[in-house]
Amino acid sequence: MRDFIARPEHGIVWISGASSGIGRALALKLAGEGYKVAVTARSHEKLVELQAEARGLDGSIVVLDGDVTDAEDMEHAMASIEYEHGTLAMAILNAGTYLPVHAEDLHRADFEKSFAVNLSGVVNCLLPAIRHMKAKGQGQIAIVSSVTGYGGLPTGAAYGATKAALINMAESLKFDLDKIGIRIQLISPGFVDTPATRKNAFPMPALVSTDEAARQIAAGLKSQAFEISFPKRFTTLMKLARLLPYSAYFALVNRVTGWRERPSSSGRHPVTPHPAE
């Protein structure tokens, strides 16, 4: 039996973190394919601009303001979809933030904000989405993680920890969601050209545009794959690197990033590039 694949006729697609980056590009891509897409973010103005840009496409975009760190906001967004716009067929949980952290200059706020947005923010959307889909007997959920979640990288103690948790979360939920007709997928991008990654001070291997990322994700959502990762050559190498013994893994990361040679006593390190939304 093939897993459920949401089509435009099945209902609405809900995308969190849709005001910029991957979320924005994916909303336009799916609207262009005829889907009705509900978009959520804190920036009302950017969502309205996105809605206007989608005019003339085969599908449409509905603006649902909200902060993923506020569970009540996400309950209200789900209620709006259910009672005002139609059945939720697919939820793409994409909202995320990247805050680099450095062991010699740690700040609790960097961890708390990263966990609140990247991890709790997903949970706040996930719970009402699953409840709605369970009642309907079908649905599709995609959680946006990152290849950073495959293994620890410099400056990634907060961001990478949340992405690793999302990988485990999606894997663990799949066992039970399979039983109730809800399909779950994991999206693991490499480096994508977004406002977050443009802050990086070093070249980013296999960098792809947000439009290419949206194309890859849209195709993956229609496949039977559990994980949607891209670009394949880079993401496969990242996954294989994590199979190395720790001594070899740490040596490899230090060599590739040059991290060991960078000073740690004269202020904060430059930001090491991380795959991000």
The edge-to-edge listing of strands for the beta sheet with 182-189 is 60-63, 36-40, 12-16, 88-93, 139-144, 182-189, 227-230
Taken as a whole, the chain contains a residue count of 277
Token pair listed for 63? 């603006």
- Domain count across the chain: 1
Q: What's the pLDDT band for 265 if we cut at 50, 70, 90?
A: very low
For 145-168, the pLDDT digits (tens) are 999 999 998 889 999 999 999 999
pLDDT number for residue 267? 47
String of b and e for 244-260 (b: at least 16 CB within 10 Å)? eeeeeeeeebeeebebe
Residue 267 lies in a domain: no
User: Do residues 95 and 17 touch, judged by C-beta distance below 8 A?
Assistant: yes
Q: Is residue 263 part of a domain?
A: no
Q: Residue 89 domain-assigned?
A: yes
Question: What digits encode the pLDDT tens for the residues 210-252?
Answer: 899 999 999 999 999 999 999 998 899 999 999 999 999 999 9
**CATH code for position 226:** 3.40.50.720
Instruction: Outline where DSSP puts E strands in the chain.
Output: 12-16, 36-40, 60-63, 88-93, 139-144, 182-189, 227-230
Q: Is residue 269 part of a domain?
A: no
**Contacts of 87 by beta carbon, 8 Å cutoff, 6+ apart:** 10, 11, 12, 136
Taking 80 as the threshold, does the pLDDT of residue 204 lie above it? no
How far apart, in whole angstroms, are the C-alpha atoms of residue 173 and residue 124?
Answer: 15
- Does 272 reside within a domain? no
Is 238 within the bounds of a domain?
A: yes
pLDDT above 60: residue 274: no
**Amino acid at residue number 111:** F
3-state secondary structure of 62: strand
Range of the domain at 163: 6-258
Indicate whether 271 belongs to any domain.
no
The residue behind tokens 């949340």 is 162
- Give 254's DSSP letter: H
Buried b (16+ CB within 10 A) or exposed e, 204-236: bebbbebeebbbbbbebbeeeeeebbbbeebbe
Dump pLDDT digits (tens) for 84-116: 999 999 999 999 999 989 999 999 999 999 999
In a domain, 224, yes or no: yes
Tell me the two tokens of residue 68: 């993923």
